Amino acid sequence: MPPKVYKNYIKGEWVEARCGKGFENLNPADKNDVVGLFPASDKCDLDAAVDTAKQAFKSWRLVPPPKRAEVLFRAAQVLVERKEELARDMTREMGKVLRETRGDVQEAIDMGFYMAGEGRRLFGQTTTSELPHKFAMSIRQPIGVVGVITPWNFPLAIPAWKIFPALVAGNTVVFKPASDTPLSAYHLVKILNEAGLPKGVLNLVTGSGGAVGVSLMTHPDVGVITFTGSTEVGREVSKACAPDFRHCHLEMGGKNIILVMEDANIDLALDGALWGGFGTTGQRCTAASRLGVHKKIYKQFVAKFVERAKNLKVGNGLDPSVEMGPCINDRQAQSVHNYVGIGKNEGAQLLCGGEPLTGGEYDLGAFYAPTIFGDCHPKMRIAQEEIFGPVVSVIPFESFEEAIEIANGVVYGLSSSIYTRDVNRVFTAMRDLSTGIVYVNAPTIGAEIHLPFGGTKQTGNGHREAGTAALDVFTEWKAVYVDFSGALQRAQIDTHT
């Protein structure tokens, strides 16, 4: 059967790219399986989408927020109904195991219901005035057209984290998903359309970062760019938005760490290290790609960790017994393999894995063995740079202070974790770890949608998504003063004569 052909969504219509070109979306577990053909759009398509979103903003901003929220609520209900189908399609297009893709859809559901609630909140403040017969308040205002640029590792959750708050706040959206996961993007847009979103409010344009992404981030009519992806591309987004001060919200790379102290519950920490390191094949921005272990328990802990990693079942994520899927594509698997070479050359001890998996079904996909490097120095490249694959670098340490220093000694600042039973260390770590997210006795992954999500240093640019913090990205504060004295009252002057 020929692969299904998908289209862009612009002005409430499903349309082909004007150039008529397309690209294939391949299943990373089976490259003979073409998931679909998607439009390879260019600047023309993008411009049409932005123009439409600009027009639609004029009316969408005036729709009462509780009405906007009803669309999100209905969309979340449809996501619930189709959860299994969406999860299966997601596993097929990006490889992570079904249990995890169900979780990805659930994040979008949670965010839909949560942001629907914001339709009846979007709180500002009423406050006092220093002058008599005067009223003062602050209100949130939508900004305009929001450009959404997303990665492939959370194909529904991340777009939902951006699109739902942007819409409930009264903005319109042009959405450019990653080219490895356009099917999940298509599903989300279709569902929002079915839920009753007016034409032009949400537009989907698929295609490369170089063509569609660049055109979106440089478009003068786009008021906000919200980007999740690599630090390298995030830097480009930041530069593109800087000349005319358009807002940009960046969520980028990570080099997260789990610290295991000598008093930790070893079995609990092992479970966490395994899930944090190899969940989603290590392709999470919050993946625990570094593991710091106290020297007193190092030998015993690492031996058990290696044993557990070797026994992980790797394969097609649609098989319920599989624990780890493939890398997203051959390029990513090759990049992982290059880092393994770097680790060996740096003198780290390869304890398991270190090779692509071959033979049988493995030859069809981009499978890589769970890989662990021991005795890493914290300044080695494999302990500093984001690998984004199933590779964990284990670093021994001698004291709590050294552990915190190692944890903070990278350019990224997304997530960190500590396993200990010492309450004083827990609170010190909560204070001193320099990441945007800290876990205690849990791995570096597992964010919940009602708390702020994002990172410090080169992981982010000071914004947060999720929680009510997300609304700060998609709204401008407006301070409003109403003087009902009937006379000119001068702040700071008439109050101090």
State which of residues 113, 114, 152, 301 lies at the interface with ligand NAD (CB under 6 A).
152
Q: Which of 244/267 has CB closer to ligand NAD?
A: 244
Least distance CB 212 / ligand NAD (angstroms): 7
Query: Is 118 annotated in the active site?
Result: no
DSSP code of residue 2 = P
CA separation, residue 337 to residues 114, 278, 341, 370, 444 (Å): 40, 16, 6, 11, 24
Exposure class string for 89-100: b at 16+ Cβ within 10 A, else e = bbbbbbbbbbeb
In whole angstroms, the minimum distance from the beta carbon of 77 to ligand NAD comes to 26
Q: Which of 47, 221, 236, 346 binds ligand NAD (CB under 6 A)?
A: 236
Q: Is 46 in the site for ligand NAD (CB under 6 A)?
A: no
CB closer to ligand NAD, 209 vs 292: 209
Separation in Å, CA 283 to CA 85, 171, 230, 255, 405? 22, 31, 12, 11, 25
CB atoms within 10 A of CB 321: 7
Closest to 51 (Cα-Cα) out of 216, 164, 212, 241: 216
DSSP string, 312-377: --BS-TTSTT--B---SSHHHHHHHHHHHHHHHHHT-EEEE--SB--SGGGGGTT-B--EEEES--
210 binds ligand NAD (CB under 6 A): yes
**Positive or negative CA dihedral for 187, 331, 29, 285?**
negative
Q: Does 229 bind ligand NAD (CB under 6 A)?
A: yes
CA-derived radius of gyration, the chain? 24
Nearest CA among 452, 460, 466 for reference residue 166? 466
From 83-91, 151-159, 375-383, 392-400, give the range in contact with ligand NAD by CB under 6 A: 151-159
> Closest separation between CB of residue 178 and ligand NAD, Å?
4
Give me 190's structure tokens. 């279709």
Rounded to whole angstroms, how far apart are CA atoms 470 and 396? Answer: 37
Q: Provide the token pair at 172.
A: 């319109």
CB 105 within 8 A of CB 141: no
Q: Does 378 bind ligand NAD (CB under 6 A)?
A: no
- Asked if 251 is an active-site residue, the reply is yes
Residue 238 vs 441, nearer CB to ligand NAD = 238
Site for ligand NAD in 8-37 (CB under 6 A): none
Name the one range near ligand NAD by CB under 6 A: 116-124, 144-152, 256-264, 348-356.
144-152
- What is the contact mask toward ligand NAD in residues 386 to 425, using x (rule: CB under 6 A)? x-x-------------------------x-----------
Q: Is 178 in the site for ligand NAD (CB under 6 A)?
A: yes
Closest separation between CB of residue 480 and ligand NAD, Å?
34
Nearer of residues 193 and 329 to ligand NAD, judged by Cβ: 329
186 lies in the site for ligand NAD, by CB under 6 A: no
User: How many CB atoms are located within 10 Å of the residue 433 CB?
Assistant: 24
Question: CA angle at residue 144 from 139 to 147, to 5 degrees?
Answer: 125
Which stretch in 56-64, 185-193, 226-234, 300-308 sits in contact with ligand NAD by CB under 6 A? Answer: 226-234
- 241, 248, 285, 376: the active-site residue: 285
Q: Catalytic residue positions?
A: 251, 285
The site for ligand NAD (CB under 6 A) is made up of 149-154, 176, 178-179, 209-210, 213-214, 217, 228-230, 233, 236, 251-254, 285, 386, 388, 414, 455, 459
